[in-house]
Structure 1
């Protein structure tokens, strides 16, 4: 059994949905896929994605991303309501949104948002970041409140696990996961990348691997005993920083073993 990681597949782009559909229906039947958010804000496309992947993998585990909680396309609810709809749809399609014990390994999804613990947002990001127009939260809810809401939901899963533990989230748990080569002009998005409070939960769980998404900057780095991995499909024009392949992160009880 192998465990693969993937995030930010953005299937609204035909190139990305075509890539997803091209995955073998035979090669991964005994394998696990961690899908770390950002599929589409369309429920119909989410269903298509889930159906496509469950036909290819033994098990698909998923956590929603920020794009998945946008409500401008379909409306009818706020983003907390959209979160519940997305999770219900995933479960109806046979996709797991909760912890899974698979042999000697546990895989634990962790919800989060951003709370500006990576820095204060500037005027440019406040004016241009699409979440601020496409997500709708209850009156009086700031980003720190949204983050606290999702982190509290994690508390039921922040318990002791036996064997190897892999956690995954859409958002970044620490800002030093961003590489030094990122130009200063592009760092304006850092405040909306995640929350440092998430890393505290990851370490309480005792993870050996944490998979994340959102940044579209693919990376594998070891920090204080945890291997952090981002394997984003990304937007079609981002081939320099993202990749268009599955990444095997665990096989037969060995993290990082050749797959």
Structure 2
């Protein structure tokens, strides 16, 4: 792991209580590099070249994805967002973070649904919230920022922007209005759609995945509301923040497992400059209300061109 650049803590006067914890988390505190990387151009002028990239859905349980990731070239001055679905096991996440820490100046990670899966048959294996906390621990052990850490302030080209790693999950509300939540699985099955989360993603100790989603929404909304309203954000969540961005024509009835309607206007409410997500395995750029939405998935081995390498699938977020 390369040495991290020194950071300056920029406290704000507010602190946020997280209701289900017994400590105050200074989640609206920002930090930034003391100096942004640059190079010297003609005439001695400094040229800013620091970039913020993003990618998601590396799915390194597939050997092809894992091996190709090792070929990624160094980006010593750039930051990388990992927008979820790196892998299911702590050792998979650790391996990826160890690899990418040698190639990027800073890593930022949010969980996807796969990181929350319990695939170990051991009845004592972490489930639900405990599995999430385990994966957060792995990331922190490698110096990687998570949704539980202070939001970093990007001061490179395209900034300043607060990068906000989020963990929101989904609440099945991306379903048609005439389909009850209790009927989602049956409705999806009518067109041979299903989600393995129903087997592997435990909501413990929450009553349901929807209840866990509601809890995450409450905590996250409080954090985002505490940010300076005039400071642009880069919102990062594994799941799309808007239902109209879920375009999966081969399995349209998978949509209920793709997000929550509660975040439809968050790009406006929280002054988003860019919104980053994954999950759909459908790479694209969309615009809503003047805000750029980037779906940054790599996907399973059959969903990308190995000859181009993983490098070609890094999406430039800033300066953009």
TM-score, with length taken from structure 2? 0.71
Deviations along 1:104-162, one digit per CA (max 9) or x if unpaired, are 22111111111121104241647841111111223661232021122123134213345
Whole-angstrom CA distance in 1 between matches of 2:284 and 2:115? 23
Q: How does 1:1-259 map to 2 (within 5 A)?
A: 1-25=50-74, 28-73=75-120, 75=122, 76-97=125-146, 98=149, 99-103=151-155, 104-119=160-175, 120=179, 121-123=184-186, 125=188, 128-138=194-204, 141-158=207-224, 159-161=226-228, 163-179=231-247, 182-183=248-249, 186-239=251-304, 244=310, 245-251=313-319, 256=320
Residue by residue over 1:207-253, the C-alpha shift from the partner in whole angstroms, topping out at 9 and shown as x without a partner, is: 1100001111111010112111011110011238xx942111212xx
> Could you tell me whether the CA contact under 8 Å between 2:243 and 2:264 is conserved in 1?
no
Unaligned runs of 5+ in 2: 1-49
SS in structure 2 at match of 1:232: coil
- CA distance in 1 between partners of 2:243 and 2:84 (Å): 18
Q: In 2, are the aligned partners of 1:122 and 1:188 still within 8 Å (CA)?
A: no
Equivalent residue number for residue 35 of structure 2: none
Q: Secondary structure at the match of 1:44?
A: helix
Tell me, in whole angstroms, the C-alpha distance in 2 between the residues paired with 1:30 and 1:163: 23
Q: Does the 8 Å CA contact 1:41/1:73 hold for their aligned counterparts? A: no
Q: Aligned to 1:48, what secondary structure does the other structure show?
A: helix
1:74/1:85 CA distance change after superposition, 3 Å: farther
Count of residues in Structure 1 that have an aligned counterpart in Structure 2:
245
- Which of 1 and 2 has greater Rg? 2
- Using the TM superposition, give the Cα deviation of residue 201 of structure 1 relative to its aligned residue in structure 2, in angstroms: 3.6
Indicate conservation of the 8 Å contact 1:38/1:67, yes or no. Answer: yes
Q: Which runs of 5 or more residues in structure 1 are unaligned?
A: none
Q: Secondary structure at the match of 2:59?
A: coil
Secondary structure at the residue paired with 1:73?
Answer: coil
